[in-house]
Homo-oligomer: A and B are copies of this chain.
Amino acid sequence: MNIGLLGMGTVGGGVYNAIVERDLGLSVKRILDCRALPGLEKLQTAAFQTILDDPSIDLVVETMGGDEPAFGFVLAALNAHKHVVTSNKLLVSAHYRELHEAAAQNGVQFRYTAAAGGGIPWLYNLARAKRCDDILSIQGVINGTTNFILDGMYTQNGDFDEMLSEAQRLGYAERDPSADIDALDTQRKCALSASLAFDAYVPAASIPTAGIRHITKEDIAYCKNLGRVCRLMFYASRADEGVCAQVEPVFVPGDSAAATIRGCGNMITLTGKHLGELTMIGQGAGREPTGVAVVQDILDIAQGLIQAPFSTAEAAVCATAPYRYYVRKDGAQYVSEPISAAQIHKEGADFFARIAE
């Protein structure tokens, strides 16, 4: 199978290395990138049209990130009857319907396992579990950057700005960290996971979401006193009227598996009617784990393996059950009576976190 690779950055480089390392029956025919790629000049092109017009290219890998020009390229590739694999959650969540429909209309596949969970084969196993089970709920820690910050604040007693700078220094956080710390990245991954789990299109923007931008040492100290650890988590479940979903900081019990997730780790759980809970823990990001996840998608297409079903019918996102929340507001810290996520968003707070059952 011949591949056109869009973007030779961190993930693209991991994909390239994993493909050339062993005989997988895959060949990188062209690489679209404007930067110098020493030793790869023969493969390199600066014109996407070269890839689009090459009938020998069966599959396009998009690892550029961002919306445009990635969206235009991916849509054109699908319309040219080429399979597409991407690691770009922003792209997939922003254009979920159009991309899935274009793939279906053109009889090709569109896969993005690496877009949620990095190296963890989460979306693939979710699709596999769905073959013979009903998914009741999904939840987890799916953003490595914020987990690095929260873990650092807990274990090293650091403050938020310190830990964010450290994450940026190590390459775990972008210069503009908004998508991570405001939980938009988690929101997108939640939307992709819930859409697959519950056979309905869950728009990212419809998920009530709170991040960790305003968390302080005082919040962590209060959390510790409760015998808990703070994690940024997503949660989604099937409901009579649609899908319940939310993204927010959660104080999890100190003896839970989520409390043990160190650094940039991810932990994602599905609950099946028959299977019960199945949890996967692994590297949610990084050149090599994400690169391997992309290559696994390519091999699944080449070998005709399980494709995640999708639905473009939009789900109503409905209110979750009331929970108790830790709240810091106007200098006061307290644990609320059970209230809904909608209510806590409406009332506002300097920082809040759900108290896990």
Taking Cβ atoms with an 8 Å cutoff, the residues of A that contact B are: 14, 18, 22, 24, 119-121, 124-125, 128-129, 131-133, 255-257, 259-261, 272, 274-283, 286, 288-289, 291-292, 295-296, 299, 303-306
Bound form: Cα–Cα A14–B275 in Å:
11
The prevalent SS among residues of A at the interface is mixed
**How many copies of this chain?**
2
Residues on B with C-beta less than 8 A from A289 are 274-276
Assuming the contacts A121-B128, A256-B260, asked whether A279 and B281 have C-beta atoms less than 8 A apart, the reply is yes
Q: Closest 6 interchain pairs by CB?
A: A279-B281, A274-B288, A278-B282, A257-B260, A276-B283, A274-B292
Q: Closest B-chain residue to A306, C-beta based?
A: B305
A-B contact pairs, 11 of them (CB 8 A): A24-B132, A119-B275, A121-B128, A125-B125, A131-B299, A256-B260, A257-B260, A276-B286, A277-B282, A278-B282, A280-B280
User: Are B119 and A278 in contact (CB-based, < 8 A)?
Assistant: yes
User: Are B275 and A283 in contact (CB-based, < 8 A)?
Assistant: yes
| 11 further A-B pairs in the complex, CB-CB below 8 A; given A131-B296, A272-B292, A281-B281 | A24-B132, A119-B275, A124-B128, A133-B292, A256-B260, A260-B260, A276-B288, A277-B281, A278-B281, A279-B281, A280-B281
